[in-house]
Amino acid sequence: MPAPSNISVLHDSVLTALGTAVVSGTYPPGEVITLEGVSAEHGVSRSVAREAIRVLESMGMVASRRRVGITIQPAANWNVFDPRLIRWRLESGDRAAQLMSLSELRRGFEPVAAALAAQRADPHQCRIMAAAVSDMAVHGREGDLTAYLQADKVFHQTLLEASGNEMFRALNAVVSEVLAGRTHHGMMPDSPNPAAVALHDDVARAVRMRDPAGAERAMRAIIDEAAAAVAVAEDSARD
């Protein structure tokens, strides 16, 4: 894989800085900024600043108008499903509240996706899910949270793909950011809960056995367990 160009690195850096500033309220709704100001503040060319603004505009976070400037938009206008926005909100806002909001979203589609997967998954997808659960168990015992996270992502991605529903499949990046957010912000226990791994195994088995009700029930339990763990982590952080 080729190394990213300097322009690409600068673009990503400016985009992240601006996005985080909007999310954190450093740039409140209604504030007007300019390309010249962005360029000067971050030491980049106008073209790099312009490209970053275009991305934020596509996410509903800013609106550009000639002779007005770049106006910061209220949160109600944001594309809250964009993985980058989820990441910025987890990094700069009330991440426990954001994770709880995302958990509520997951309750609305992942159990249904699991039930569909139990009807539609092919043998290869069943094997991938089983292998991911096995990897989660091994890495969980070893306390390797990075490897555990990767296996967890593979499990959920495969489940959503196995649902056969393109809308659910498109939400994979949202789920991945939720899983990564817990790990990167200290809301995972040092040793993942064996009960959570067992629930993933229950889902994989129900999918393999063509048991939609069982798959849906176990997936709902996974999300409930994760939400409870986030609440515990948040309480510990306050103490």
Q: SS3 breakdown of the chain: % helix, strand, coil, rounded to 5?
A: 75, 5, 20
Q: Which residues form the domain of 45?
A: 6-77
* Residue-wise pLDDT tens digits, 173-231: 999 999 998 888 877 777 888 999 999 999 999 999 999 999 999 999 999 998 888 87
Q: Which of 77, 103, 138 is the last residue of a domain?
A: 77
Determine what percent of the chain is predicted with pLDDT higher than 70: 93
Average pLDDT, the chain: 91
Q: Which of 77, 94, 113 is the last residue of a domain?
A: 77
Question: Amino acid identity of 210?
Answer: R
pLDDT-wise least confident of 88-102, 171-185, 225-239: 225-239
Q: How many domains does the chain have?
A: 2
Tell whether 158 and 215 lie within a shared domain: yes
Tell whether 59 and 134 lie within a shared domain: no
Tell whether 56 and 143 lie within a shared domain: no
* Residue-wise pLDDT tens digits, 157-178: 999 999 999 999 999 999 999 9
CATH code, 104: 1.20.120.530
Tell whether 166 and 186 lie within a shared domain: yes
Measured distance CA(85)–CA(143) in Å, rounded: 29
pLDDT band at 7; cut points 50, 70, 90: low
Tell whether 73 and 88 lie within a shared domain: no
Instruction: Tell me the Cα Rg of the chain.
Output: 20
Q: Which of 47, 77, 107 is the last residue of a domain?
A: 77
Contact 92, 24 (CB under 8 A): yes
Tell whether 146 and 73 lie within a shared domain: no
Contact 41, 82 (CB under 8 A): no
Residue 199 lies in a domain: yes
- DSSP string covering 132-179, please? HHHHHHHHHHHT-HHHHHHHHHHHHHHHHHHTT-HHHHHTHHHHHHHH
- Model pLDDT, residue 194: 93
Tell whether 165 and 146 lie within a shared domain: yes
